[in-house]
A = this chain, B = another copy of it.
Amino acid sequence: MENFTFYSPTYFVFGKNEENNAGHYVKRFGGSKVLIHYGGGSAVRSGLIGRVEESLKKEGISFAQLPGVKPNPRSGLVYEGIDLCRREGVDMILAVGGGSSIDSAKAIAAGVPYDGDFWDFYSGKPIEKALPVGTVLTIAAAGSEGSGDSVITKEEGMLKRGAGSEAIRPVFSILNPELTQTLPAYQTACGITDIMAHLFERYFTNTKEVETTDRMIEGLLLAMIHEGPVAVKEPDNYGARANIMWAGMMAHNNSCGVGRQQDWASHEIEHELSAKYDCAHGAGLAVVFPAWMKYNMKHDVMRFAQVATRVWGCKIDFADPERTALEGIEAFRNFLKGIGMPLTFAELGAKEEDIPYMAGLATDGGKRTVGGFVSLHKEDVEAIYRLCL
C-alpha cells in the first residue's frame, strides 16, 4: 500500500424530504447569498426548485438563479455563472441536480475568486480557493457530491477536461433518494454504469497488498449488481434508490481508492465519445470499459480472475484463469445489456472513421499516455475504440 492522505469533510444529509432543509445547511456553512444552479425545467416543474427557494427564504437567505446546465456541462455557462456571481455578490453556489450541475457549480466556484480564465484550472493549474459549494443531488451517478473533481466541456473544439482540488469539494450535500425516483430507466442505468466504472477505475491497480480497499470495492460492486436492476425495473423502489445513492458517493469519495495507483483510462477514452457525440457519460462507459478490460486483461490475469470470481460469481478455472477472467468481462457486459445500456459504437451513434481523431485528442496527439494500470499510447486507444465496433 502507498502512503496517502484522505480528507472528506463534506457534511452529508441523507433521506426523505431533506431538500427542505437546504436553507438550514446553507446558513450553517456560511452562505448569505447563493446562486441556485441547475439544469432544465424538470426541476422547476417537479416543484424541487420551489421547495429549495422556500427553505432559503425561511432562513432569510437571498439568491440568484442560473438554470440551463446541460449533460456534459459547457464552459459557456460557467463564464456566465462567474459573471453573475460577481455582479450579485454571491458567496455560495448551491447546485441542484446531478453531476453536471455540480461540476458546473464547482467550476463557477473556482472561477469567481480567480483573476484569470477559469479554463486554466482545466488545463492543469491547481485550484487554490473557491466559493463554497452545496448540493441537492437528483441523480446517483457521478459521485461529484462527495468529490473534489469536476469535468467541463469547452465548446471550442469540444474539449472535455477535468480538474480536481480539495477547494471544490462540496461543504454539504443533500441526498434524497426520492428525487431520483423520477429518473427514466435509461438515465438510471447510465448512473449505475458510472458508479461501477468509478469502482473499476480504482480496482485495476498495480499496487500490491490492498486487500481492504479491494474488498470494499467488491462489496460496493455486489451492492450495485443487486440494486441496479431493481431500480431500473421499479423506479419508485426507495430502498434500491437509497442503496445506489450511498454507493455512488462511497464509490467516488476515494475511501476505497486510497493508497493505490488507479487507472482512469476508460474515463479519458470515454470523454472523447461524450464530447464528440454528446452521448451520456454512463452509456459511453458501458461501451468503452469492457473493451478496455479485454484489451488489458493479460496485464494481470489473476486480478481479472479475482473480480470475476468474487464479484460475478464465476468459478475459477485453475487450469486456465484467463478463461475465468474473460467470463467475468462477459458477465459485466451481460449485466450492462440487462439494464439497457449500449455495448457498441453503433448503438451509441459513434462512427468508426472518428477513431483516429478521438484517439489523438485523448492522448494529446500521441504526446501522452492514458491509464495508471497500463500506460496506453495513441495506437492502444485506437485499438480499444475498435474493440467497441
Contact B215 A223 (CB under 8 A): yes
Q: How many copies does the complex hold?
A: 2
Residue interface bits A212-255, CB-to-B below 8 A is 1, else 0: 11111111101100110000000000111011101100100001
Contact B5 A13 (CB under 8 A): yes
Tell me which of A15, A18, A240 has the highest count of chain B C-beta atoms within 10 A of its own C-beta: A15
Q: Chain B residue with minimal CB distance to A16?
A: B3
A209 contact set on B, CB distance < 8 A: 238-240, 242-243
**Bound Cα distance A210, B14 (Å):** 14
A208 contact set on B, CB distance < 8 A: 239
Identify the A interface with B (CB < 8 A). 1-16, 18, 177, 208-220, 222-223, 226-227, 238-240, 242-244, 246-247, 250, 255, 258-259
A214 contact set on B, CB distance < 8 A: 223
A4 contact set on B, CB distance < 8 A: 14-15
Contact A14 B218 (CB under 8 A): no
**Bound Cα distance A72, B221 (Å):** 39
**Bound Cα distance A177, B215 (Å):** 19
A244 contact set on B, CB distance < 8 A: 212
> Other than the known A1-B243, A7-B10, what 7 A-B pairs have Cβ atoms closer than 8 Å?
A1-B15, A1-B177, A209-B239, A211-B223, A212-B246, A215-B219, A215-B222
Q: Chain B residue with minimal CB distance to A224?
A: B212
A240 contact set on B, CB distance < 8 A: 209
Contact A211 B243 (CB under 8 A): yes
| A207 CB to nearest chain B CB (Å) | 10
A6 contact set on B, CB distance < 8 A: 11-12, 14
Contact A212 B259 (CB under 8 A): no
Contact B227 A14 (CB under 8 A): no
Q: Chain B residue with minimal CB distance to A12?
A: B6
| A140 CB to nearest chain B CB (Å) | 11
Contact A226 B211 (CB under 8 A): yes
Which 6 A-B residue pairings sit nearest by Cβ, starting from the closest?
A3-B15, A209-B239, A219-B219, A215-B219, A9-B9, A1-B242
Candidates B5, B12, B216, B247; contact of A14 at CB < 8 Å: B5
**Bound Cα distance A371, B117 (Å):** 57
**Contact (A1, B239) CB under 8 Å given A258-B246, A259-B246:** yes
Candidates B12, B15, B211; contact of A2 at CB < 8 Å: B15
Candidates B223, B226, B242, B250; contact of A259 at CB < 8 Å: B242
**Bound Cα distance A362, B18 (Å):** 36
| A41 CB to nearest chain B CB (Å) | 28
Contact B216 A250 (CB under 8 A): yes
A217 contact set on B, CB distance < 8 A: 219
Contact A259 B1 (CB under 8 A): no
| A231 CB to nearest chain B CB (Å) | 12
| A230 CB to nearest chain B CB (Å) | 9
Contact A14 B259 (CB under 8 A): yes
Candidates B9, B210, B216; contact of A216 at CB < 8 Å: B216
| A149 CB to nearest chain B CB (Å) | 18
A3 contact set on B, CB distance < 8 A: 14-16, 18
Contact A212 B250 (CB under 8 A): yes
User: 11 pairs across A/B with beta carbons < 8 Å?
Assistant: A1-B238, A1-B242, A5-B11, A7-B10, A15-B259, A209-B243, A211-B226, A213-B246, A214-B223, A215-B219, A219-B219
A11 contact set on B, CB distance < 8 A: 5-7, 9
Contact A220 B226 (CB under 8 A): no
**Bound Cα distance A229, B173 (Å):** 39
Contact A227 B212 (CB under 8 A): yes
Contact B8 A8 (CB under 8 A): yes
**Bound Cα distance A364, B262 (Å):** 51
**Bound Cα distance A226, B1 (Å):** 15
